[in-house]
Amino acid sequence: MPHLVFMSLLVHQCTPQLVQKRSNQMQKSKTNFPDLSALIPVMPEPGKRSRALYTAIRRLIETGQLPAGAKLPTTRDLARRLGLSRGAAVDAYEVLIAEGFAEARVGAGTFVAAEVPQLKADVPEIVDDGADYSGPPHPCTLGIAIADERTRRVFRQLLHRRLERPQPNFYSYGDPRGEHELRQAIADYARVARGVRCHPGQVVVTSGIRHGLDLVMRAALHPGDAVWVEDPCYLSAQATITGVGLRTVPVPVDREGIDVAAGEVIGGKAKAVYCTPSHQFPLGVTLTMRRRLALIDWAKRNDAWIFEDDYDSEFRFSGPPLASIQGMDDAGRVIYLGSFSKVLFPGLRIGYAILPEPLVEPVLAQRQQMDRQPPSLPQGAIADLLNEGHFAAHLRRVRKRAEACRDALVDGLGAGGNSFSVAAPEQGLHLIVSLADEFDDEKLVTAAAEAGIGALPLSTHYLAAPIRKGLVLGYSGFEPEDLRRAGKKLAGIVHDLSPATADGP
Protein backbone atom coordinates (compact mmCIF):
# COMPACT_ATOMS: atom_id res chain seq x y z
CA MET A 1 0.00 0.00 0.00
CA PRO A 2 1.54 3.38 -0.94
CA HIS A 3 2.20 5.73 1.92
CA LEU A 4 1.03 9.33 2.07
CA VAL A 5 3.86 11.68 2.95
CA PHE A 6 4.30 15.38 3.59
CA MET A 7 6.13 16.76 0.53
CA SER A 8 5.98 20.55 0.95
CA LEU A 9 9.14 22.42 1.88
CA LEU A 10 9.45 26.20 2.03
CA VAL A 11 12.85 27.47 0.95
CA HIS A 12 13.79 31.18 1.19
CA GLN A 13 16.97 32.68 -0.23
CA CYS A 14 18.92 29.41 -0.16
CA THR A 15 21.97 28.39 -2.16
CA PRO A 16 21.65 25.21 -4.30
CA GLN A 17 23.92 23.36 -1.85
CA LEU A 18 21.72 24.36 1.12
CA VAL A 19 18.59 23.36 -0.77
CA GLN A 20 20.11 19.94 -1.51
CA LYS A 21 21.13 19.55 2.16
CA ARG A 22 17.65 20.37 3.40
CA SER A 23 16.15 18.07 0.79
CA ASN A 24 18.30 15.21 2.02
CA GLN A 25 17.29 15.93 5.61
CA MET A 26 13.63 15.93 4.65
CA GLN A 27 14.11 12.67 2.75
CA LYS A 28 15.43 11.09 5.95
CA SER A 29 12.55 12.38 8.07
CA LYS A 30 9.53 11.63 5.85
CA THR A 31 6.61 10.84 8.10
CA ASN A 32 3.63 8.62 7.31
CA PHE A 33 0.20 9.58 8.49
CA PRO A 34 -0.54 7.51 11.62
CA ASP A 35 -2.30 4.24 10.79
CA LEU A 36 -3.72 2.80 14.00
CA SER A 37 -6.49 0.86 12.29
CA ALA A 38 -5.15 -2.51 13.40
CA LEU A 39 -5.64 -1.43 17.03
CA ILE A 40 -9.31 -0.44 16.77
CA PRO A 41 -11.26 -2.53 19.31
CA VAL A 42 -14.01 -4.00 17.12
CA MET A 43 -16.17 -6.33 19.24
CA PRO A 44 -19.17 -7.76 17.35
CA GLU A 45 -22.05 -9.25 19.31
CA PRO A 46 -23.43 -12.79 18.75
CA GLY A 47 -25.44 -13.48 15.59
CA LYS A 48 -24.76 -13.56 11.89
CA ARG A 49 -21.10 -12.59 11.59
CA SER A 50 -21.31 -10.08 8.77
CA ARG A 51 -24.30 -8.32 10.38
CA ALA A 52 -22.72 -8.28 13.86
CA LEU A 53 -19.49 -6.83 12.45
CA TYR A 54 -21.41 -4.17 10.52
CA THR A 55 -23.34 -3.17 13.69
CA ALA A 56 -20.19 -2.97 15.82
CA ILE A 57 -18.34 -0.72 13.37
CA ARG A 58 -21.39 1.46 12.74
CA ARG A 59 -21.74 2.00 16.51
CA LEU A 60 -18.12 3.13 16.72
CA ILE A 61 -18.71 5.59 13.88
CA GLU A 62 -22.01 6.99 15.18
CA THR A 63 -20.66 7.60 18.67
CA GLY A 64 -17.62 9.42 17.32
CA GLN A 65 -15.12 6.88 18.62
CA LEU A 66 -14.11 6.47 14.98
CA PRO A 67 -13.95 10.06 13.65
CA ALA A 68 -14.55 11.15 10.07
CA GLY A 69 -11.63 10.19 7.83
CA ALA A 70 -10.30 7.50 10.17
CA LYS A 71 -8.93 4.45 8.44
CA LEU A 72 -10.74 1.17 9.10
CA PRO A 73 -8.92 -2.14 9.61
CA THR A 74 -8.41 -4.22 6.50
CA THR A 75 -10.88 -7.03 5.92
CA ARG A 76 -8.01 -9.51 6.08
CA ASP A 77 -6.94 -8.15 9.50
CA LEU A 78 -10.48 -8.27 10.88
CA ALA A 79 -11.06 -11.78 9.62
CA ARG A 80 -7.84 -13.03 11.23
CA ARG A 81 -8.38 -11.14 14.49
CA LEU A 82 -12.04 -12.12 15.00
CA GLY A 83 -11.91 -15.64 13.53
CA LEU A 84 -14.28 -14.77 10.68
CA SER A 85 -14.30 -15.65 7.04
CA ARG A 86 -12.95 -12.84 4.94
CA GLY A 87 -16.18 -12.91 2.99
CA ALA A 88 -18.13 -11.91 6.14
CA ALA A 89 -15.83 -8.91 6.65
CA VAL A 90 -16.17 -7.89 3.00
CA ASP A 91 -19.98 -8.11 3.24
CA ALA A 92 -20.00 -5.87 6.34
CA TYR A 93 -17.84 -3.24 4.65
CA GLU A 94 -20.00 -3.26 1.51
CA VAL A 95 -23.09 -2.47 3.61
CA LEU A 96 -21.26 0.33 5.47
CA ILE A 97 -20.20 1.85 2.15
CA ALA A 98 -23.66 1.46 0.62
CA GLU A 99 -25.28 3.25 3.60
CA GLY A 100 -22.76 6.11 3.52
CA PHE A 101 -20.91 5.28 6.76
CA ALA A 102 -17.67 4.44 4.96
CA GLU A 103 -15.97 5.04 1.67
CA ALA A 104 -13.40 3.00 -0.26
CA ARG A 105 -10.31 4.66 -1.70
CA VAL A 106 -8.58 2.79 -4.47
CA GLY A 107 -5.16 1.61 -3.35
CA ALA A 108 -5.53 3.14 0.12
CA GLY A 109 -8.21 1.20 1.96
CA THR A 110 -11.57 1.87 3.60
CA PHE A 111 -12.21 5.03 5.63
CA VAL A 112 -14.98 6.53 7.75
CA ALA A 113 -17.07 8.83 5.56
CA ALA A 114 -16.67 12.59 5.89
CA GLU A 115 -20.27 13.17 7.03
CA VAL A 116 -22.09 10.64 9.20
CA PRO A 117 -24.81 10.98 11.85
CA GLN A 118 -23.45 11.35 15.38
CA LEU A 119 -24.98 9.83 18.52
CA LYS A 120 -24.00 10.70 22.09
CA ALA A 121 -21.04 8.55 23.05
CA ASP A 122 -21.40 6.49 26.20
CA VAL A 123 -18.12 7.84 27.59
CA PRO A 124 -17.50 10.50 30.25
CA GLU A 125 -16.93 14.02 28.98
CA ILE A 126 -13.45 15.35 29.68
CA VAL A 127 -13.69 18.81 31.21
CA ASP A 128 -10.84 21.22 30.54
CA ASP A 129 -9.85 23.20 33.62
CA GLY A 130 -9.36 26.25 31.43
CA ALA A 131 -5.74 26.76 32.47
CA ASP A 132 -3.40 27.85 29.69
CA TYR A 133 0.02 26.23 30.08
CA SER A 134 1.24 27.13 26.59
CA GLY A 135 1.79 30.87 26.83
CA PRO A 136 4.78 32.64 28.42
CA PRO A 137 4.45 33.11 32.20
CA HIS A 138 3.96 36.56 33.69
CA PRO A 139 7.02 38.16 35.28
CA CYS A 140 7.34 37.26 39.00
CA THR A 141 5.64 33.89 38.51
CA LEU A 142 7.21 31.24 40.75
CA GLY A 143 8.73 27.97 39.59
CA ILE A 144 10.32 29.17 36.33
CA ALA A 145 13.78 27.78 35.61
CA ILE A 146 16.55 29.87 34.08
CA ALA A 147 17.01 29.02 30.41
CA ASP A 148 20.70 28.64 29.62
CA GLU A 149 21.53 28.19 25.94
CA ARG A 150 24.94 26.66 26.60
CA THR A 151 23.51 24.02 28.91
CA ARG A 152 20.68 23.27 26.50
CA ARG A 153 23.18 22.73 23.69
CA VAL A 154 25.40 20.48 25.83
CA PHE A 155 22.43 18.50 27.11
CA ARG A 156 21.18 17.92 23.57
CA GLN A 157 24.62 16.56 22.64
CA LEU A 158 24.67 14.29 25.69
CA LEU A 159 21.22 12.91 24.88
CA HIS A 160 22.26 12.32 21.27
CA ARG A 161 25.40 10.50 22.42
CA ARG A 162 23.34 8.28 24.69
CA LEU A 163 20.98 7.42 21.84
CA GLU A 164 23.87 6.73 19.50
CA ARG A 165 25.54 4.37 21.98
CA PRO A 166 22.76 2.98 24.20
CA GLN A 167 23.64 0.77 27.14
CA PRO A 168 22.22 -2.79 27.18
CA ASN A 169 19.81 -1.91 30.00
CA PHE A 170 18.26 0.76 27.75
CA TYR A 171 16.12 -2.00 26.23
CA SER A 172 15.12 -3.71 29.47
CA TYR A 173 13.62 -2.84 32.85
CA GLY A 174 16.28 -1.60 35.24
CA ASP A 175 17.01 -0.93 38.88
CA PRO A 176 14.01 0.65 40.65
CA ARG A 177 16.47 2.94 42.45
CA GLY A 178 17.62 4.35 39.08
CA GLU A 179 20.75 3.91 36.99
CA HIS A 180 23.87 3.32 39.08
CA GLU A 181 25.99 5.93 37.29
CA LEU A 182 23.48 8.69 38.05
CA ARG A 183 23.10 7.56 41.67
CA GLN A 184 26.89 7.60 42.01
CA ALA A 185 27.05 11.09 40.48
CA ILE A 186 24.28 12.36 42.78
CA ALA A 187 25.98 10.87 45.85
CA ASP A 188 29.29 12.52 44.88
CA TYR A 189 27.61 15.87 44.25
CA ALA A 190 25.59 15.79 47.49
CA ARG A 191 28.70 14.93 49.53
CA VAL A 192 30.78 17.76 48.08
CA ALA A 193 28.13 20.48 47.72
CA ARG A 194 25.90 19.79 50.72
CA GLY A 195 27.91 17.68 53.13
CA VAL A 196 25.53 14.73 52.77
CA ARG A 197 26.90 11.40 54.02
CA CYS A 198 25.79 8.63 51.70
CA HIS A 199 26.71 6.00 49.12
CA PRO A 200 24.94 5.24 45.79
CA GLY A 201 22.91 2.42 47.33
CA GLN A 202 21.02 4.96 49.45
CA VAL A 203 20.03 7.10 46.46
CA VAL A 204 16.64 6.61 44.78
CA VAL A 205 15.97 8.57 41.59
CA THR A 206 12.46 10.07 41.56
CA SER A 207 10.43 12.39 39.34
CA GLY A 208 10.73 15.25 41.83
CA ILE A 209 10.33 16.33 45.45
CA ARG A 210 6.64 15.48 45.74
CA HIS A 211 7.12 12.04 44.19
CA GLY A 212 9.95 11.30 46.61
CA LEU A 213 7.92 12.58 49.55
CA ASP A 214 4.92 10.45 48.60
CA LEU A 215 7.03 7.37 47.95
CA VAL A 216 9.02 7.47 51.19
CA MET A 217 6.12 8.47 53.43
CA ARG A 218 4.07 5.53 52.19
CA ALA A 219 6.97 3.23 53.06
CA ALA A 220 8.02 4.80 56.39
CA LEU A 221 4.74 5.88 58.01
CA HIS A 222 1.22 4.60 58.62
CA PRO A 223 -2.13 6.24 57.79
CA GLY A 224 -3.15 8.55 60.60
CA ASP A 225 0.41 9.28 61.77
CA ALA A 226 1.08 12.93 62.65
CA VAL A 227 3.62 14.93 60.63
CA TRP A 228 4.93 18.36 61.55
CA VAL A 229 4.77 20.91 58.72
CA GLU A 230 6.12 24.44 58.73
CA ASP A 231 3.53 27.20 59.17
CA PRO A 232 3.37 28.95 56.73
CA CYS A 233 4.11 26.04 54.44
CA TYR A 234 4.68 24.75 50.93
CA LEU A 235 1.06 23.89 50.15
CA SER A 236 1.85 21.29 47.48
CA ALA A 237 3.88 19.29 49.98
CA GLN A 238 1.12 19.59 52.56
CA ALA A 239 -1.35 18.25 49.99
CA THR A 240 0.97 15.31 49.27
CA ILE A 241 1.25 14.49 52.98
CA THR A 242 -2.50 14.53 53.56
CA GLY A 243 -3.00 12.61 50.31
CA VAL A 244 -0.99 9.74 51.76
CA GLY A 245 -3.46 9.64 54.66
CA LEU A 246 -1.26 11.37 57.24
CA ARG A 247 -2.27 14.10 59.68
CA THR A 248 -0.42 17.41 59.44
CA VAL A 249 0.48 19.40 62.57
CA PRO A 250 1.29 23.06 61.76
CA VAL A 251 4.38 24.31 63.63
CA PRO A 252 5.13 28.06 63.53
CA VAL A 253 8.16 29.48 61.71
CA ASP A 254 10.07 32.49 63.03
CA ARG A 255 13.35 34.20 62.12
CA GLU A 256 15.28 31.01 63.00
CA GLY A 257 13.05 28.66 61.03
CA ILE A 258 10.69 26.01 62.35
CA ASP A 259 10.20 26.39 66.13
CA VAL A 260 11.06 22.94 67.51
CA ALA A 261 10.11 23.83 71.10
CA ALA A 262 6.69 25.02 69.95
CA GLY A 263 6.30 21.84 67.94
CA GLU A 264 6.88 19.69 71.02
CA VAL A 265 4.12 21.55 72.83
CA ILE A 266 1.69 21.41 69.88
CA GLY A 267 2.37 17.88 68.64
CA GLY A 268 5.34 16.23 70.32
CA LYS A 269 4.24 12.70 69.41
CA ALA A 270 4.52 13.26 65.66
CA LYS A 271 6.24 10.54 63.66
CA ALA A 272 7.92 12.87 61.16
CA VAL A 273 8.59 16.47 60.15
CA TYR A 274 8.72 17.97 56.67
CA CYS A 275 10.89 21.09 56.46
CA THR A 276 12.74 23.35 53.99
CA PRO A 277 15.77 24.35 56.10
CA SER A 278 18.00 25.94 53.43
CA HIS A 279 15.40 28.44 52.23
CA GLN A 280 12.04 28.08 53.95
CA PHE A 281 9.06 28.35 51.66
CA PRO A 282 7.49 30.85 51.60
CA LEU A 283 9.20 33.09 54.21
CA GLY A 284 12.73 32.48 52.89
CA VAL A 285 14.44 32.15 56.29
CA THR A 286 17.31 29.71 56.85
CA LEU A 287 17.06 27.22 59.73
CA THR A 288 19.72 28.19 62.25
CA MET A 289 22.32 25.76 63.55
CA ARG A 290 20.69 25.82 66.99
CA ARG A 291 17.35 24.78 65.53
CA ARG A 292 18.94 22.11 63.30
CA LEU A 293 20.52 20.45 66.31
CA ALA A 294 17.24 20.72 68.24
CA LEU A 295 15.36 19.08 65.36
CA ILE A 296 17.83 16.18 65.18
CA ASP A 297 17.58 15.72 68.96
CA TRP A 298 13.77 15.67 68.78
CA ALA A 299 13.85 13.03 66.02
CA LYS A 300 16.23 10.83 68.05
CA ARG A 301 14.14 11.03 71.21
CA ASN A 302 10.88 10.33 69.42
CA ASP A 303 12.12 7.79 66.85
CA ALA A 304 10.80 10.18 64.19
CA TRP A 305 11.86 10.93 60.62
CA ILE A 306 13.07 14.28 59.25
CA PHE A 307 12.15 14.93 55.61
CA GLU A 308 14.70 17.53 54.52
CA ASP A 309 13.63 19.29 51.32
CA ASP A 310 16.85 21.08 50.35
CA TYR A 311 14.87 23.64 48.38
CA ASP A 312 16.96 26.25 46.51
CA SER A 313 20.19 25.28 48.29
CA GLU A 314 22.14 25.82 45.04
CA PHE A 315 21.18 29.51 44.90
CA ARG A 316 23.05 31.17 47.78
CA PHE A 317 24.37 34.62 46.86
CA SER A 318 26.32 35.62 49.97
CA GLY A 319 27.67 34.05 53.13
CA PRO A 320 28.69 30.43 53.69
CA PRO A 321 25.93 27.83 53.27
CA LEU A 322 24.96 25.80 56.30
CA ALA A 323 25.56 22.07 56.04
CA SER A 324 22.56 19.86 55.36
CA ILE A 325 20.74 18.39 58.35
CA GLN A 326 21.41 14.95 56.90
CA GLY A 327 25.16 15.54 57.12
CA MET A 328 24.86 16.41 60.82
CA ASP A 329 22.66 13.44 61.72
CA ASP A 330 24.50 10.53 63.33
CA ALA A 331 21.37 8.49 64.05
CA GLY A 332 20.07 7.95 60.50
CA ARG A 333 16.79 9.82 60.97
CA VAL A 334 16.95 12.13 57.90
CA ILE A 335 15.52 11.59 54.42
CA TYR A 336 17.23 14.08 52.09
CA LEU A 337 15.13 15.23 49.10
CA GLY A 338 16.55 17.02 46.06
CA SER A 339 15.51 17.86 42.51
CA PHE A 340 16.92 19.13 39.21
CA SER A 341 13.68 20.96 38.36
CA LYS A 342 14.63 24.46 39.54
CA VAL A 343 18.30 24.32 38.67
CA LEU A 344 17.89 22.77 35.18
CA PHE A 345 14.25 22.69 34.07
CA PRO A 346 11.02 21.15 35.45
CA GLY A 347 10.35 19.23 32.23
CA LEU A 348 13.14 16.78 33.13
CA ARG A 349 11.04 15.34 35.98
CA ILE A 350 14.16 14.00 37.70
CA GLY A 351 14.77 14.28 41.43
CA TYR A 352 16.21 12.08 44.13
CA ALA A 353 15.78 10.86 47.69
CA ILE A 354 18.77 9.88 49.84
CA LEU A 355 17.54 7.37 52.40
CA PRO A 356 18.69 5.97 55.73
CA GLU A 357 19.75 2.35 55.24
CA PRO A 358 16.68 0.81 56.98
CA LEU A 359 14.31 2.56 54.55
CA VAL A 360 15.93 1.44 51.30
CA GLU A 361 14.17 -1.92 50.93
CA PRO A 362 10.70 -0.71 52.07
CA VAL A 363 10.91 2.20 49.62
CA LEU A 364 11.97 -0.07 46.75
CA ALA A 365 9.08 -2.43 47.53
CA GLN A 366 6.74 0.57 47.38
CA ARG A 367 8.36 1.75 44.14
CA GLN A 368 7.70 -1.60 42.48
CA GLN A 369 3.96 -1.07 43.06
CA MET A 370 3.94 2.43 41.58
CA ASP A 371 6.04 3.44 38.57
CA ARG A 372 8.68 0.69 38.85
CA GLN A 373 11.68 2.78 37.73
CA PRO A 374 12.65 6.22 36.42
CA PRO A 375 13.24 6.78 32.67
CA SER A 376 16.67 5.66 31.45
CA LEU A 377 17.50 8.20 28.73
CA PRO A 378 17.59 11.44 30.78
CA GLN A 379 19.34 9.68 33.67
CA GLY A 380 22.39 8.90 31.56
CA ALA A 381 22.58 12.44 30.17
CA ILE A 382 22.28 14.00 33.64
CA ALA A 383 25.01 11.68 34.93
CA ASP A 384 27.25 12.93 32.10
CA LEU A 385 26.29 16.52 32.91
CA LEU A 386 27.42 16.02 36.52
CA ASN A 387 30.50 13.91 35.85
CA GLU A 388 31.95 16.01 33.03
CA GLY A 389 31.75 19.34 34.87
CA HIS A 390 28.91 20.84 32.81
CA PHE A 391 26.56 21.02 35.80
CA ALA A 392 29.03 22.96 37.98
CA ALA A 393 29.61 25.44 35.15
CA HIS A 394 25.87 25.76 34.62
CA LEU A 395 25.36 26.52 38.32
CA ARG A 396 27.91 29.33 38.23
CA ARG A 397 26.19 30.95 35.26
CA VAL A 398 22.59 30.68 36.45
CA ARG A 399 23.45 31.71 40.02
CA LYS A 400 24.95 34.94 38.69
CA ARG A 401 21.91 35.58 36.52
CA ALA A 402 19.51 34.84 39.36
CA GLU A 403 21.29 37.38 41.56
CA ALA A 404 21.02 40.03 38.84
CA CYS A 405 17.30 39.26 38.48
CA ARG A 406 16.77 39.51 42.24
CA ASP A 407 18.48 42.91 42.33
CA ALA A 408 16.43 44.19 39.38
CA LEU A 409 13.14 43.22 41.02
CA VAL A 410 14.11 44.78 44.36
CA ASP A 411 15.19 47.94 42.54
CA GLY A 412 11.91 48.10 40.65
CA LEU A 413 9.84 47.69 43.81
CA GLY A 414 11.74 50.52 45.51
CA ALA A 415 11.56 51.38 49.17
CA GLY A 416 7.78 51.00 49.39
CA GLY A 417 7.29 53.77 51.93
CA ASN A 418 4.52 53.04 54.37
CA SER A 419 2.77 50.65 51.98
CA PHE A 420 5.18 47.71 52.04
CA SER A 421 8.72 46.58 52.74
CA VAL A 422 11.03 44.30 50.79
CA ALA A 423 14.56 43.02 51.32
CA ALA A 424 16.89 41.20 48.93
CA PRO A 425 17.17 37.59 50.14
CA GLU A 426 20.63 36.03 50.47
CA GLN A 427 19.41 32.77 48.94
CA GLY A 428 16.69 31.30 46.75
CA LEU A 429 14.59 32.26 43.77
CA HIS A 430 11.76 34.21 45.37
CA LEU A 431 11.24 37.09 47.77
CA ILE A 432 8.53 38.40 50.08
CA VAL A 433 6.85 41.80 49.85
CA SER A 434 5.64 42.39 53.41
CA LEU A 435 2.36 44.26 53.76
CA ALA A 436 0.50 45.85 56.63
CA ASP A 437 -2.27 43.76 58.19
CA GLU A 438 -4.92 46.06 56.68
CA PHE A 439 -4.09 44.90 53.15
CA ASP A 440 -6.04 42.23 51.28
CA ASP A 441 -3.16 40.37 49.64
CA GLU A 442 -5.49 38.09 47.65
CA LYS A 443 -7.11 41.14 46.08
CA LEU A 444 -3.64 42.49 45.27
CA VAL A 445 -2.69 39.23 43.55
CA THR A 446 -5.81 39.45 41.38
CA ALA A 447 -5.00 43.04 40.42
CA ALA A 448 -1.40 42.07 39.67
CA ALA A 449 -2.53 39.23 37.40
CA GLU A 450 -4.77 41.61 35.47
CA ALA A 451 -1.69 43.80 34.97
CA GLY A 452 0.37 40.86 33.70
CA ILE A 453 2.32 40.14 36.89
CA GLY A 454 2.52 36.76 38.62
CA ALA A 455 2.34 36.62 42.43
CA LEU A 456 1.02 34.51 45.28
CA PRO A 457 -0.68 35.79 48.45
CA LEU A 458 1.39 35.05 51.55
CA SER A 459 -1.66 34.78 53.80
CA THR A 460 -3.03 31.65 52.08
CA HIS A 461 0.10 29.66 53.00
CA TYR A 462 -0.71 29.81 56.71
CA LEU A 463 -2.50 26.87 58.34
CA ALA A 464 -2.86 27.95 61.98
CA ALA A 465 -0.25 30.55 62.97
CA PRO A 466 -1.17 34.26 63.11
CA ILE A 467 -1.43 35.29 59.48
CA ARG A 468 0.97 37.76 57.87
CA LYS A 469 -0.03 39.67 54.77
CA GLY A 470 2.32 39.82 51.82
CA LEU A 471 3.14 38.88 48.25
CA VAL A 472 5.38 36.00 47.16
CA LEU A 473 7.28 36.94 44.00
CA GLY A 474 9.60 34.81 41.87
CA TYR A 475 12.51 36.28 39.96
CA SER A 476 13.95 33.22 38.21
CA GLY A 477 13.60 32.75 34.47
CA PHE A 478 12.94 36.37 33.45
CA GLU A 479 15.01 39.19 32.04
CA PRO A 480 16.18 41.75 34.63
CA GLU A 481 14.56 44.68 32.81
CA ASP A 482 11.22 42.86 32.64
CA LEU A 483 11.41 42.30 36.40
CA ARG A 484 12.37 45.91 37.05
CA ARG A 485 9.34 47.12 35.08
CA ALA A 486 7.09 44.59 36.80
CA GLY A 487 8.38 45.74 40.20
CA LYS A 488 7.60 49.37 39.43
CA LYS A 489 4.14 48.48 38.14
CA LEU A 490 3.41 46.32 41.20
CA ALA A 491 4.56 49.06 43.57
CA GLY A 492 2.01 51.36 41.93
CA ILE A 493 -0.74 48.75 42.29
CA VAL A 494 0.06 48.30 45.99
CA HIS A 495 -0.02 52.05 46.50
CA ASP A 496 -3.34 52.43 44.66
CA LEU A 497 -4.96 49.63 46.68
CA SER A 498 -3.48 50.70 49.99
CA PRO A 499 -6.13 51.13 52.71
CA ALA A 500 -4.56 54.52 53.50
CA THR A 501 -4.98 55.63 49.86
CA ALA A 502 -8.56 54.37 49.79
CA ASP A 503 -9.43 56.28 52.98
CA GLY A 504 -8.03 59.51 51.52
CA PRO A 505 -6.71 62.50 53.48
Are the C-beta atoms of 304 and 271 separated by less than 8 Å? yes
For the domain spanning 397-503, the CATH number is: 3.90.1150.10
pLDDT of the residue at 262:
95
For the domain spanning 37-112, the CATH number is: 1.10.10.10
The secondary structure of residue 271, as a DSSP letter, is: S
pLDDT of the residue at 29:
44
pLDDT of the residue at 416:
60
Gap between the Cα atoms of 165 and 148, Å rounded = 26
Q: Tens-of-pLDDT digits for all 505 residues of the chain?
A: 333 333 333 333 344 444 444 445 444 444 445 666 677 778 788 888 899 999 999 988 888 888 888 999 999 988 888 888 999 999 999 999 999 999 999 888 999 998 877 665 554 555 555 555 667 899 999 999 999 999 999 999 999 999 998 888 788 888 899 999 999 999 999 999 999 999 999 999 999 999 999 999 999 999 999 999 999 999 999 999 999 999 999 999 999 999 999 999 998 789 999 999 999 999 999 999 999 999 999 999 999 999 999 988 899 998 777 789 999 999 999 999 999 988 998 888 999 999 999 999 999 999 988 888 888 889 999 999 999 999 999 999 999 999 999 999 999 999 666 689 998 999 999 999 999 999 999 999 999 999 999 999 999 999 997 899 999 999 999 999 999 999 999 999 999 988 766 554 4
Chain center to CA of 468: 29
Are the C-beta atoms of 54 and 16 separated by less than 8 Å? no
- Ordered alpha helix ranges (H), 37-148: 49-62, 75-82, 86-98
Positive or negative, the CA dihedral 490, 492, 495, 501 is: negative
List of long-range contacts for 464-468, beta carbons under 8 Å, 24+ apart: 464/231, 464/250, 465/231, 465/232, 465/250, 465/252, 465/253, 468/232, 468/434, 468/437
Q: What CATH number does domain 149-392 carry, 3.10.290.10, 3.40.50.740, 3.40.640.10, 3.40.309.10? A: 3.40.640.10
As annotated, the residues of the chain forming the CATH 1.10.10.10 domain(s) are 37-112
As annotated, the residues of the chain forming the CATH 3.40.640.10 domain(s) are 149-392
Are the C-beta atoms of 409 and 482 separated by less than 8 Å? no
pLDDT of the residue at 493:
94
H or E stretch at 167: none
As annotated, the residues of the chain forming the CATH 3.90.1150.10 domain(s) are 397-503
pLDDT of the residue at 373:
86
Q: Which of 443, 409, 411, 412 is closest to 428 using CA atoms? A: 409
Gap between the Cα atoms of 436 and 420, Å rounded = 7
